[in-house]
């Protein structure tokens, strides 16, 4: 996917978001230029002193108050999500609830994961106490997408805050109102805390670029692979650490022993929900030949029941409709069969489900992120061929496997950051599981203990508890007799392989 072309009428100074269906304006905010971004980062840096001093328990209380503020006003929030992003209110609700699960987990587990740890110093340093203390990076710049405008940035924001960082958040230009609501809820829940603990900056990609270049101590980005590469290159100028959650081309494997009805249910939901605008949505499906016809019948029966505008919303990013059309046209031109829908399923701003069979593996519909309610299906000789084709992608975000007996075995063979077995995307709703991709799907992890650790840096402290007379190795006073003793002990310990 290319850089987000905004649909909102962006003037030089104001950003206006629009209703994803009607195109009517929703809200307007001044665009933050580099100077405004620098001010926000400075305020976040000052607020960080107090936020860190609060410690784990008080930070947990502040985050729990934020969660309560969100849940107690969830209908208002969901209405705004539905308007700006376009997804049905129930989908918005599930997105918010899942985000709050993560928020709660990060708040509850930060101390356990990040508390100082004393480690064995080794024989040579037995007189030294060795401690690892996890320090927050400082100010984390979080840059978010529009497709899951709460869940995805929250996977960085909640974990970064729980770890003691302060956050400057740049929401997508398409879902800026949602970003403001989310951040305002923190301030409303915590009126006694300084505003800079969590703040928002507004604008298109240029504002995000200013945030990356502002001197923040870490960047947490969720969005397309193309933008992720730009951000990594810009962050390299200062060696600013990054976590990048980028695009995918997720595959599902249906083995001969799969429950076909359950597999079809999960795969159709994964491919079509949110109009297919899901980073971990299934886009490719490999089905063992012996069950292909039955599987296709199950899929067709389900997609026939879907109504765009009710089952899922419009395409949020209008230019993405062209990408979907290009991929479908390319697949059909190369000999694919449209099992359900086709080029005429595309009626902006909605796209009806499209299921394509036998799409050549080198076509864009199989290789590139389509990000629409489409699914390619290919029959394969066996599970081994399905694994090989699933892994033949520059992306490696997530994957799913449907098999009664071989689920775990197949999952382990897949090159991906996450795999669900006999369910769609269940890993995403389990806060303890790390989330992130391999290859061009991203760098680093959010969520879980790995996510908390990623928003900190280890500070190793070695404190000499007592001196051992004559044993000072890191000293010019070192003696030859000490050295010969060290040589003897070393030879005894490591000189013979056991």
- The verdict on whether 279 is a catalytic residue reads yes
Which residues have a Cβ under 8 Å from the Cβ of 8 and sit 6 or more positions away?
A: 15, 16, 17, 18, 173, 174, 176
* Residue 4 is a binding residue for ligand NAD (CB under 6 A): yes
For residue 204, give the DSSP letter. Answer: S
Q: Rank residues 224 and 420 by Cβ distance to ligand NAD and give the closer one.
A: 224
Which residues have a Cβ under 8 Å from the Cβ of 475 and sit 6 or more positions away?
A: none
* Residue 223 is a binding residue for ligand NAD (CB under 6 A): yes
For the segment 69-128, give every residue that binds ligand NAD (CB under 6 A): none
The span from the CA of 143 to the CA of 207, in Å, is 10
- x/- letters, 337..366, toward ligand NAD (CB under 6 A): ------------------------------
Q: Rank residues 69 and 152 by Cβ distance to ligand NAD and give the closer one.
A: 152
Query: Which of 11-19, 225-233, 252-260, 324-332 is the region at the interface with ligand NAD (rule: CB under 6 A)?
Result: 225-233
For the segment 132-151, give every residue that binds ligand NAD (CB under 6 A): 143-148
Given the residues 95, 279, 283, 368, select the one marked as catalytic: 279
Given the residues 84, 95, 173, 245, select the one marked as catalytic: 245
Instruction: Please provide the DSSP assignment of 254-269 as one string.
Output: E-TTS-HHHHHHHHHH
Least Å distance, CB 248 to ligand NAD, is 6
* Residue 268 is a binding residue for ligand NAD (CB under 6 A): no
Q: Rank residues 179 and 341 by Cβ distance to ligand NAD and give the closer one.
A: 179
Residue found under tokens 């029941």: 305
Query: Which of 183-191, 244-252, 305-313, 322-330 is the region at the interface with ligand NAD (rule: CB under 6 A)?
Result: 244-252
* Residue 204 is a binding residue for ligand NAD (CB under 6 A): yes
Least Å distance, CB 156 to ligand NAD, is 10
How many chain residues interact with ligand NAD (CB under 6 A)? Answer: 34
The span from the CA of 332 to the CA of 335, in Å, is 5
Which residue's C-beta sits nearest to ligand NAD? 208
Least Å distance, CB 455 to ligand NAD, is 16
The phi, psi pair for 356, rounded to 5°, reads -115, 135
Least Å distance, CB 119 to ligand NAD, is 33
| Torsion of Cα atoms, 276 then 282 then 285 then 291, to 10° | -100
Q: Rank residues 279 and 296 by Cβ distance to ligand NAD and give the closer one.
A: 279
* Residue 231 is a binding residue for ligand NAD (CB under 6 A): yes
Q: Rank residues 88 and 434 by Cβ distance to ligand NAD and give the closer one.
A: 434
Beta strands in 271-353 (DSSP E): 282-288, 337-340, 346-347, 350-351
- The verdict on whether 245 is a catalytic residue reads yes
Half-sphere CA count of 486, side-chain side, radius 13 A: 14
Query: How far is residue 164 from each of residues 116, 229, 281, 297, 453, measured CA to CA in Å?
Result: 14, 27, 32, 52, 11
Dihedral sign of CA atoms 49, 52, 53, 59 in order = positive
The span from the CA of 373 to the CA of 350, in Å, is 10
Q: Rank residues 70 and 143 by Cβ distance to ligand NAD and give the closer one.
A: 143
* Residue 230 is a binding residue for ligand NAD (CB under 6 A): yes
3-state secondary structure of 171: coil
Cis peptide before 77 (omega within 30 of 0): no
* Residue 246 is a binding residue for ligand NAD (CB under 6 A): yes
Least Å distance, CB 440 to ligand NAD, is 10
* Residue 205 is a binding residue for ligand NAD (CB under 6 A): yes
* Residue 397 is a binding residue for ligand NAD (CB under 6 A): yes
Least Å distance, CB 3 to ligand NAD, is 5
The span from the CA of 284 to the CA of 357, in Å, is 10
Query: Which of 79-87, 204-212, 282-290, 471-479 is the region at the interface with ligand NAD (rule: CB under 6 A)?
Result: 204-212
Q: Which of 182, 180, 163 is nearest to 111 (CA)?
A: 163
H/E segment holding residue 331: helix 318-333
Which residues have a Cβ under 8 Å from the Cβ of 83 and sit 6 or more positions away?
A: 19, 20, 26, 177
Query: Which of 208-216, 339-347, 374-382, 456-464 is the region at the interface with ligand NAD (rule: CB under 6 A)?
Result: 208-216
Least Å distance, CB 364 to ligand NAD, is 14
| Torsion of Cα atoms, 115 then 121 then 125 then 128, to 10° | 30
Binding residue for ligand NAD, selected from 314, 396, 424, 442, defined by CB under 6 A: 442
Query: Which of 43-51, 227-235, 464-472, 478-486 is the region at the interface with ligand NAD (rule: CB under 6 A)?
Result: 227-235
Residue found under tokens 């100010």: 139
What residues line the site for ligand NAD (CB under 6 A)? Answer: 1, 3-4, 143-148, 152, 170, 172-173, 204-205, 208-209, 212, 222-224, 227, 230-231, 245-248, 279, 317, 369, 397, 437, 442
Write out the catalytic residue numbers.
245, 279
């Amino acid at each position: 996917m290319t850089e987000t072309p905004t649909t909102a009428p962006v003037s030089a100074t104001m950003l206006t978001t629009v209703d994803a269906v009607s195109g009517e304006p929703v809200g307007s905010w001044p665009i933050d230029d580099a100077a405004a971004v620098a001010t926000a980062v400075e305020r976040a840096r000052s607020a960080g002193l107090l936020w860190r001093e609060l410690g784990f328990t008080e930070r947990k209380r502040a985050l729990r108050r934020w969660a309560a503020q969100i849940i107690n006003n969830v209908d208002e929030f969901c209405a705004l999500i539905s308007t700006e992003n376009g997804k049905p209110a129930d989908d918005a609700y599930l997105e918010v609830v899942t985000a709050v699960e993560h928020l709660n987990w990060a708040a509850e587990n930060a101390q356990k994961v990040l508390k100082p740890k004393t480690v064995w110093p080794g024989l040579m340093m037995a007189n030294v106490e060795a401690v690892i203390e996890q320090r927050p990076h400082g100010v984390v710049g979080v840059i978010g997408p529009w497709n899951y405008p709460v869940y995805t940035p929250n996977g960085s924001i909640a974990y970064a805050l729980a770890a003691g960082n302060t956050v400057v958040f740049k929401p997508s230009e398409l879902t800026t109102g949602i970003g403001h609501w989310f951040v305002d809820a923190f301030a409303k829940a915590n009126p006694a805390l300084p505003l800079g603990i969590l703040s928002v900056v507004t604008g298109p990609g240029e504002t995000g670029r200013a945030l990356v270049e502002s001197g923040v101590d870490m960047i947490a980005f969720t969005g397309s692979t193309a933008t992720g590469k730009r951000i990594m290159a810009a962050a390299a100028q200062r060696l600013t650490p990054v976590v990048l959650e980028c695009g995918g081309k997720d595959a599902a494997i249906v083995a001969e022993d799969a429950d076909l009805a359950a597999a079809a249910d999960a795969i159709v939901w994964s491919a079509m929900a949110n109009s297919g605008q899901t980073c971990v949505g299934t886009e490719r499906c490999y089905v063992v030949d012996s069950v292909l016809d039955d599987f296709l019948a199950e899929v067709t029966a389900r997609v026939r029941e879907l109504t765009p505008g009710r089952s899922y919303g419009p395409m949020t990013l209008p230019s993405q409709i062209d990408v979907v059309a290009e991929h479908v046209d390319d697949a059909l031109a190369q000999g694919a069969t449209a099992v359900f829908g086709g080029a005429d399923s595309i009626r902006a701003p909605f796209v009806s489900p499209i299921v394509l069979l036998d799409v050549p593996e080198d076509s864009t519909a199989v290789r590139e992120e389509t990000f629409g309610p489409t699914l390619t299906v290919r029959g394969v000789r066996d599970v081994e061929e399905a694994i090989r084709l699933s892994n033949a992608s520059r992306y490696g975000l997530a994957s799913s496997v449907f098999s009664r007996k071989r689920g775990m075995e197949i999952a382990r063979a897949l090159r991906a950051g996450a795999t669900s077995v006999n369910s769609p995307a269940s890993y995403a709703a389990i806060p303890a599981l790390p989330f992130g991709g391999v290859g061009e799907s991203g760098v680093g992890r959010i969520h879980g203990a790995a996510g908390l650790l990623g928003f900190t840096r280890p500070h190793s402290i070695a404190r000499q508890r007592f001196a051992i007379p004559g044993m000072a190795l890191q000293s010019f006073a070192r003696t030859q007799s000490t050295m010969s003793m060290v040589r003897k002990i070393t030879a005894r310990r490591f000189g013979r392989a056991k």
